[in-house]
Amino acid sequence: MKKYIVGFALVVLVSALFFAKYTGDDTISSSERTPAESSTAVFGTDELFTGSKKVLSDLNNPNVFNARTCAEVVNKVTDYLFYLPANHFIPKTDAEKEQLKTKGPELLNTVFQIRVTLHEKLKQFDSRNELESNCIQKIREGFQYARFTEEYILDWLYAQKVYTFKKTPVLIDEQPSTWTNPKFKGFQLQSGDVMLIRGKSYVSAMIARIADEEGNFSHAAIVGEDKAGKKYVVEALIQHGVVVTPLEKWRQAEDSRVALFRYPDQALAKKAARYMYDLAQGALDRKQGIRYDFSMNDDDYSSMFCSEVIRVAYDKASGGKVMIPKFRSTTTKFKDHKYPRTLGVTKTSLFAPYDVEVDPRFDFIAEYRFMPLLRQVRMQDAVLQSVYSWMIEKGYDFHWDLGHSSKSYLAKLVRQFGVAKESLPKYMPVETIKTTVQFETVAAALEKNIYKKEAEYYKKNGYLPSFQDMLAINEAFRVQDCKNGKRFELPGIDRSQFHGFFYSDSKSCE
């Protein structure tokens, strides 16, 4: 584990450090970038620290960063980073490592402040009616790159003993577990607060990432309140539907990432908190509960998925005046592919949890991380991206398979008799169960392979694979698994790990 932390963080540590080559000019052409294979590429810690401050300064300079230049400025940074080799920012000398250890916390604060500033600019542009869709999309990407950068830096600083890991309650205002917007230093969780969460389950992540837009969160929850003023967390879980948990108990959970957002009108937020608590607890008291909405249809409130809980709370509390989110995700990337429908999703737009992150009506308060889980979710993100890209670009699909179908129907039958209550609701559609079982089988095979290959990669290179490297590892595994199966040459004999039920009708391994 220690090798992973040191290696991966050094690789990508500042992999995202969009600051290193950022100059603030209007354009950066490919000819101005150091080629990946060039031996002249250097880490340049001085450039790293000064570059990050330059980015922050430019974001606060309306002559450089404004509604008109928004998309261009952010894209210049993220596009550059996307193509960097894994070892581009590895410190080359002991002096550079010591400098990073000394100035790392300051760098981390600067990167976090870049995200805070991007969110503030989003609010400003919207208040002036200047916010355009391309700016929103690029700010989404900016949040992603900056967040991953912070996590890589944190990994490295933990490995270097600059920080020592200790488990804390979720969203306690204390570094290094939680970084806080300076405007809200000393914050306490309030009624109506919205929390965006990245859990450790493939199921919630695969549903949440159906949207065209990408984000770092797979779940959402709201802080509710009873008539005595006691706080709870109200959320919709796949296993149980809408549940209510005492706030302090909920804060002991282990989720890799939790971001806190707050609606500024505290009277409305408190009303939303009371409404959702009363609705959810009332249903539970009647032994009925509110079912999980596998269709992710937030036009119908009879059942709810995670984000829909937030929507219902503020819609009802405001008498329909505050509808969340302001900017919805779209679901067109799968085109005519049947995959979303097998999960029950039929709409062309939906409320993804991370849509709250670009809702300018909310304040960004703080973000918590549970370090032991960050590696796992990075692996999951790479697996999800590979599987979805194979569906979209190569025509892969889940095909009827007796073994997996039998498991699904058995799971459904068993659940009807009260078994497996912690994993499957009685009303979960069997088609959704079947697709989930198949997806998790593919994901498990890919994840096992990545863990194996990253160890080999580290031994050979002295550092671990970047996100792009992991996608390449997945692709090589896909091709080999297809060939191993020999599905089409020897019917009935399948030595693959997933091509027996997940493959393209083209019957090609390329």
Q: Tens of pLDDT along 442-463?
A: 998 999 999 899 889 878 876 6
Cα(160)–Cα(167) distance, integer angstroms: 18
Amino acid at 62: P
- What architecture is the 178-369 domain classified under in CATH? Alpha-Beta Complex (3.90)
**pLDDT at 315 exceeding the cut of 80:** yes
Check pLDDT > 80 for residue 141: yes
Backbone angles phi, psi at 261, to 5 degrees: -125, 145
pLDDT at 389: 93
Nearest to 198 by CA among 158, 155, 144: 144
Token pair 């150091």: residue: 34
CB atoms under 10 Å from CB of 494, counted, come to 16
Q: What is the pTM of this model?
A: 0.86
Pairwise CA distance, residues 30 & 8, whole Å: 26
Quick one: average pLDDT of 113-130?
97
Which pLDDT score, from 0 to 100, does residue 32 have?
Answer: 33
Q: Where are the domains of the chain?
A: 2-164, 178-369, 372-504
Would you state the pLDDT for residue 89?
57
At 106, the pLDDT band (50, 70, 90 cuts) reads very high
- Cβ-contact 236, 290 below 8 angstroms: yes
353 pLDDT above the threshold of 80:
yes
Q: What is the mean pLDDT of residues 186-196?
A: 98
Run of H or E including 74: helix 70-82
